[in-house]
Structure 1
Amino acid sequence: MNKKSLIIGIIILALVISGVAFFSSKNQRTDELTKISVALDWLPYAMHSGLFVAKERGYFADEGLDVGIHAPADPATILQTVAQGRDHFGLNYQPDLLLARSEGVPVVSVAALTQHALAALMVLEESGIERPRDLAGKRVGHGGIPLERLLYNTVLKNDGIEGGVGGVQFIDVGYDALVALLSGQADAISSYYTNQPVIAKQQGYNSKVFKVTDYGVPDYYDLVIVTNESMIRDNPALVERFLRAVAKGYEEAAKNPQEAIRLMARSNPELDIEVANEEILLEAPLWFADNGVFGWQEESRWISFTEWMNSGGLLSNPVDARQAFTNSFVESLR
């Protein structure tokens, strides 16, 4: 073997060894990651973008986490699967969490994903309906959720319909309320003002919304990140690591929303990019509290909304609002 061949052989051997070391290190790192399951509140949409940014950018991996994100087979079961530990974390709604706690389900909000309520009555612009009181005697479609009756009873009464939902045709149209509105089966529907109006616009329909908080409903954290009491007690470091990565994901998504949707679409090819790019512009401003902190929750808001739900007869048993949430983890990220 001449000198040139020997040098080439040494170089090749070094490359092989370094390659083996790299893949061995990578596999070892993957093996050492803690597997975490996260249940979304619904099918993936723009509100979830920060989670997918955290996954795609490796923010979860940086915290030693291998996070699986999945849509629930049944959205009504999320708090149960989280309470039982089948999902480590879930996205759900402040009202639903309070209902669950009133029935003894040990779930806790560890961060607010939206700083304000999203619920609104939605009407088509062509309908001529200018405010909730114009719906007297008309058809108002809802999804069959008990909270909706209290929400819109409050809205309608406060805008002058004495009987509240009794003064309209309050009809259960199921989850597909937008179809009912666009097909003429309803004159107004229960909606999220960041979602259905955007979809309607993409289909050529202009709409108006009447936000529930503009008509006497106390503001609340619509979407929250939940875990169970055992996780908080037994593994607080894991909760903190998870939320640190999530906060990074949402901070990046807020700064570059279109890129966030592009990253999200990698693992969600069914995502409607046009709709998602519009939705995220409405949703991103809701991710951060007035103090600039992602996930922050005010005790006063939890107390006032809990009292409102209780006075409306929704809570089967008393709930201590202070035990339903914690800021201890987002506080540590400030």
Structure 2
Amino acid sequence: MAPAVLTRRTLMAGGAGLAAALAAGCTAGSPPGTPAPVPGGSPAWTGPVEKVSVLTGAGFAGREAGLAAAKRLFFPQVGLDVTMVAGRGTNENLKLLRSGAATFATLDVSGAIMAKAKGGADDFWLTCLLHRRNLACFMALSGSGINAPADLAGKKVSFVPGGINHLLFGAYAGLAGFPPGGVQWVQAGPVQADHAKLLAGRKVDAISQFVPAQVAVEQITGRPVTVLPFTKVMGDIHGSAIAVTQQTAASKPDLVRRFNEALLRGLRYALDHPETAAQMFLELPQARTQQKLAVEGEIKSLAGYVHLTTAEPSPAPFGHFDRTRLMQNIAILQGAGQIPAGFTPDQLVKFDLAGNPIT
């Protein structure tokens, strides 16, 4: 079966649009908003199946439900048997990718820019954009006195070594107008629940986190939290993207395109059907202890970070990089003193590997 053509209208139309786009297994006369059932039948792929692996951003969180949906529904249709591996943050993910430990890796775009622009990590490409806006934030318990970025000065804050919250903190603090050196960093692992437990136990004053995790954090702490998004301070910077080594990009471009197209279909399916995608995610062995309500909350929160926005007059297709916006991201990092001048989008992104446009 040839890949369905996805349009901007079907992207925004929810269940009915998705069913029409996929043309896979939806029953006529289903009530409006009914999630599309899992497509049945044999995968369309008739060639050999290739085993690959992908690193998540950090651990297994609900924002990775698009990967889970792609693993169940779409990767088999393009001949891929995909193993999801818990990521460890941008820097560690990049090391694992370059070592050959994974075929694909989720990296924060700003972290990838910093790695390439500063030298020593030239052997990878970004190929597919997952989040058009950055998800990073700090969270603190409501009523703790942390209500603005400057309130973090002198406080204990959790972090993941090599994670984007820590990598960008110097720029974040500088733009927010407070000295970064006074923060007391408390190391935690990539599992977001570990950070929330530190906050619940008052072992830290704030945690490094991602905005969609708010529901999960509030479930663990039993308290409302104050969210301090990076985008409120740093402006229009990107979120996560998929990366491959330059060797993979050069030797297996068709593999990269197939992976990206299937992943984007999974991401869009998750956004359109958060309940179904949450169940798929929770069936992963690494996620079975998580709460469905929290996972659904993360998926629903992703919409504002993934979908096209009306503020962009000529936006790139879903999942594709836009050179103008990428230059804005680069300029923000240059202005904050994080990278030298002269870096360009073509040094970072292999634009022709994102796959067929999903507009």
Bin of the TM-score, shorter chain as denominator length = 0.7 to 0.9
CA 1:317/1:285 → structure 2, altered by over 3 Å: closer, same or farther? Answer: closer
Cα separation, partners in 2 of 1:180 and 1:70, compared to 1, 3 Å: closer
In the alignment, does 2:333 pair up with 1:321? no
Aligned residues: 302
* Cα separation, partners in 2 of 1:254 and 1:315, compared to 1, 3 Å: same
Q: How far did 1:262 drift?
A: 0.8
Contact 2:55 2:93 in 1 (8 A): yes
In the TM superposition, what is the alpha-carbon distance from 1:304 to its structure 2 partner? 3.5
Q: Match for residue 185 of structure 1?
A: 203
Contact in 1 for aligned 2:92/2:162 (Cα 8 Å): no
Q: Distance in 2 between matches of 1:285 and 1:92?
A: 19
8 Å CA contact retained: 1:125, 1:208: yes
Cα root mean square deviation, aligned: 3.2
In structure 2, C-alpha distance between the alignment counterparts of 1:289 and 1:314, rounded to whole Å: 28
Matches within 5 A, 1:91-102: 91-101=106-116, 102=119
Q: Deviations over 1:246-269 (max 9, x none)?
A: 122112111111101112222333
What are the Cα deviations for residues 155-208 of structure 1, in whole angstroms up to 9, with x where unaligned?
Answer: 4454454xx224x4433343344333322233333321212x322311311011
Instruction: Identify which of 30, 34, 44 aligns with 2:50.
Output: 34
The residue that corresponds to 1:263 in the other structure is: 280
1:247 to 264, 270, 273: 264
Alignment of 1:1-334 (within 5 A): 32-57=48-73, 59-72=74-87, 76-101=91-116, 102-145=119-162, 148=165, 151-161=168-178, 164-166=179-181, 168-175=182-189, 176-195=194-213, 197-203=214-220, 204-215=222-233, 217-268=234-285, 269-290=288-309, 291=315, 293-310=317-334, 312=336, 314-315=338-339, 319-330=343-354, 332-334=356-358
Give the whole-Å Cα distance in 2 for the aligned partners of 1:331 and 1:32. Answer: 20
Structure whose residues are more often helix by fraction: 1
Does the 8 A contact of 1:120 with 1:209 survive in 2? Answer: yes
* Residue identity in the other structure for 1:241: R
Q: Distance in 1 between matches of 2:321 and 2:260?
A: 14
Unaligned runs of 5+ in 2: 1-41, 310-314
Letter in 1 for 2:108: Y
Structure 1-normalised TM-score? 0.77
Q: Is the 8 A contact 2:124 2:246 kept in 1?
A: yes
TM-score (normalizing by structure 2): 0.72
State the secondary structure of the residue aligned to 2:350: coil
CA contact (8 A) 1:110 1:325 kept: yes
SS of 1:205's equivalent? coil
Instruction: Give the unaligned 5+ runs of structure 1.
Output: 1-25
**Could you tell me which amino acid in structure 2 is paired with residue 230 of structure 1?**
Q
Deviates further, 137-146 or 321-330: 137-146
